Structure 1
Amino acid sequence: MSGTSMDGVDMAVIETDGMAVTGFGETRYRAYTPQERATIRESLGRWPGEAGVAEAARIVEDAHLDVLADIMGKTDIAAFGFHGQTLAHDPAGGRTHQAGDGARLASVSGVTTVWDFRSNDMALGGQGAPLAPFYHWALARFIGATGPVAFLNLGGVGNITWVDPAIDAPQLPGACVAFDTGPANAPIDDLIFARRGQRFDQDGALTRQGRVDAETVAVFLDDVYFRRMPPKSLDRDAFPDLGRWVAGMADADAVATLAACAAGAVSQAMEHLPSPPLQVYVTGGGRHNPGLMEMLAAALDRPALPVEAVGLDGDMLEAQAFAYLAARVLLGLPTSAPMTTGVAAPVGGGRVSRV
């Protein structure tokens, strides 16, 4: 998985029959070099055939091949789920762009590769995102959840999945409700990179130091998106005004205000869940920001626990999700449903490149 933070490639091995998760295997992380990251960043918002896209795609493919080659000698891999790098996502226009050719990965690696997970969903009227909810359902069963729980991913964009593990399959009505909550780390990371040349708010230092501009947060949360019923999804840069609103603030105040916007968006999202979850488990890079986690607890009026609290690996959960989805594609099982992406009916996505 190469996410919206564009920090590098996460790879994780899981054991699954496409329904239950029965074990976890090797993991790897391969960071993008500053030049690789810059090339990918320059292609954000672009579509196939536009300037720089082919170069970005090659970087993404080569980075995945690096980690795959490293792990193949240590474990027996049946198939590889390749998400690609999202450069543009336009749910209203029914199109999305994940750079990277899974057929090339299969050819070079010799491993059957499942890729292009989002296109089928969008062709049938879905948002194409989020796609991790079915895996969240499997994880809720894996950890022995006794009732509905929520998984909150604080990546570049935030997304939440409410799951009821008592339902027998993730595509059935009542099993999953999922949607993007709003921007999470992306605006913070972009501001810190632009002002300080750093990739993120290390240890949440600026988030904790800054003073939140409550008026900016209130204006942000008044956006119609937060009142729209799910399913719904966002592009990484769906709220371009945010950067302009904090442009005149000191670094710490700007970062704290952006973090408060992210936490407030999650709080608004809770109103759209079928019932209050027994617990909220947080994955993604945002859980490493203590300031953001404190704001989140205050906004929710309850603690939100990192997924490590129940023995899961929050750094690898997204990569694991696409391994799980790859298994489901190979078995002909659905990968999304009406209450996860808004697709007309449960549908399987993904192209399969065999060797």
Structure 2
Amino acid sequence: MNSERAMADAVASNAAEGNMRAVGVISGTSMDGVDVALVETDGEARVVRGPSAMRPYTAPERSAIRAAMADAAAAPDGAHRTPLLAEAERVVTEAHGAAVADFLAEVGTVDLVGWHGQTVAHAPERGMTMQLGRAGELARRLDVSVVSDFRSADVAAGGQGAPLVPAYHRALAWQAGLEEPVMFVNLGGVANLTFIDGEALIAFDTGPASALIDDAMSEAGEPYDAGGATAARGMVDKAALGALMDHPYFAAPFPKSLDRDAFDPFPVARLALPERVATLTRFTAEALAAGVRLLPRPPTTVVLCGGGTHNRTMVRFIEEALGVKVASATDLGFSSDAMEAEAFAYLAVRSRRGLPITFPTTTGAPRPLAGGRLTLPSAG
């Protein structure tokens, strides 16, 4: 048993002392809606998962966020707000506030809210990441302290600012006793992996998951490829797939991270919708396989989480590309859908206690770094 795990087990054995009730709130780059989840935790090895909920974005809300994406990409820093960005931030704050208020009416009082906000741009290579959301307004509305701005400290220190969930993945893997090496794969707008093997904790973005697929489906008036049905009707265009995979990102060493719009879908632009979506879905799987080849050794246990787990074609393509059987987080007693929201509840407690949330092998930070900004209700 390694020293860090021994320390975590010692903390966990101390009954429930020092635990906090926290709610995590996130909307991913797929922009499908707001995920909310309750966790009771000490921020280390003890995790008691509670209820979760999801509030879909309305079409006008999604449109307001999409309308601000170009301004976000061109912004000089994460605090910059054009009129379109300010309106999108108002929409995000109102939607997330409503989702959490409804959730708290069901679960009761909590100690903290861990609020990720809505990512609209992520460019760590120029020291910039932007998550929309006014923490002061949320804290005042809920009358609960809010931990937000989880990425900025890491980016400012030279890290990638992503992925942020690995510490939570590790806590779940240790608590469940999963056979190592364990690999968690989050399939949101962007795909990322967490590799856990004794002392080793490695994480990085592998490529797109649902973002490019959702964008293609939106042209047909649909928010996403439900169940992977559209991809299942199409044939993968090998030439287009090869062009998509011909990107220097896949050979770059980890840690590394991506913006949702890092890849140009031009190679599939000429294809009919089923072929386009099938090729983009296979692209997710092949990009993940390229990431796995960078790991010290192949994983024994592969756990899928995030919205992409509902895309049966994506899951099948991933199994084919990796050559192994995969399990969803739900299959193992976790939650595929609430995983990230739970993680931000967990990270909020770590932040409140000054514990690191990013590490040299997960974001490229120069040392393990605490992160997050605490906003009290009185500051709203």
TM-score calculated relative to the size of structure 2: 0.88
Q: Distance between the aligned counterparts of 2:331 and 2:376, measured in 1?
A: 38
Aligned position for 1:212:
236
RMSD: 1.1
157, 160, 166: which is aligned to 2:193? 160
Aligned position for 2:282:
260
Q: Structure 1 residues 146, 211: closer, same or farther in 2, change over 3 A?
A: closer
Residues 359 and 367 of structure 2 are in contact (CA less than 8 Å); yes or no, is this contact kept in structure 1?
A: yes
1:284 lines up with 2:316 in the alignment:
no
Q: Distance between the aligned counterparts of 1:21 and 1:27, measured in 2?
A: 18
One-letter amino acid matched to 1:6: M
Q: Distance between the aligned counterparts of 2:121 and 2:307, measured in 1?
A: 21
93, 98, 106: which is aligned to 1:66? 98
One-letter amino acid matched to 1:225: Y
Aligned position for 2:12:
none
Residues 157 and 236 of structure 1 are in contact (CA less than 8 Å); yes or no, is this contact kept in structure 2?
A: yes
Task: Report percent identity of matched pairs.
Answer: 44
Q: Which runs of 5+ in 2 are unaligned?
A: 1-25
1:92 deviation in Å?
A: 0.7
Q: Secondary structure at the match of 2:258?
A: coil
Residues 15 and 23 of structure 1 are in contact (CA less than 8 Å); yes or no, is this contact kept in structure 2?
A: yes
One-letter amino acid matched to 1:51: P
Aligned position for 1:127:
160
Q: Secondary structure at the match of 1:197?
A: coil
Q: Secondary structure at the match of 1:52?
A: helix
One-letter amino acid matched to 1:278: T
Q: Structure 1 residues 292, 239: closer, same or farther in 2, change over 3 A?
A: same
1:221 deviation in Å?
A: 1.6
Residues 151 and 160 of structure 1 are in contact (CA less than 8 Å); yes or no, is this contact kept in structure 2?
A: yes
1:42 lines up with 2:49 in the alignment:
no
Q: Which runs of 5+ in 1 are unaligned?
A: 168-173
Residues 14 and 21 of structure 1 are in contact (CA less than 8 Å); yes or no, is this contact kept in structure 2?
A: no
Residues 179 and 301 of structure 2 are in contact (CA less than 8 Å); yes or no, is this contact kept in structure 1?
A: no
Aligned position for 1:171:
none
CA displacement, residues 210-251 of structure 1 (integer Å, 9 cap, x when unaligned): 1111122122222110000000000000012x2x21111111
1:22 deviation in Å?
A: 2.9
CA displacement, residues 2-27 of structure 1 (integer Å, 9 cap, x when unaligned): 11111111000001100024311121
Q: Distance between the aligned counterparts of 2:83 and 2:98, measured in 1?
A: 25
Q: Distance between the aligned counterparts of 1:5 and 1:254, measured in 2?
A: 18
How many corresponding residue pairs?
Answer: 344
Q: Distance between the aligned counterparts of 2:103 and 2:247, measured in 1?
A: 45
Q: Distance between the aligned counterparts of 1:29 and 1:287, measured in 2?
A: 16
CA displacement, residues 53-100 of structure 1 (integer Å, 9 cap, x when unaligned): 111111111112112212223333110000010111111101100011
Aligned position for 2:5:
none
Q: Distance between the aligned counterparts of 1:116 and 1:353, measured in 2?
A: 10
Q: Secondary structure at the match of 2:27?
A: coil
Q: Distance between the aligned counterparts of 2:174 and 2:238, measured in 1?
A: 39
Aligned position for 2:136:
103
* Displaced runs of 4 or more, over 3 A: none
Q: Secondary structure at the match of 2:193?
A: strand
Aligned position for 1:10:
35
Q: Distance between the aligned counterparts of 1:29 and 1:202, measured in 2?
A: 17
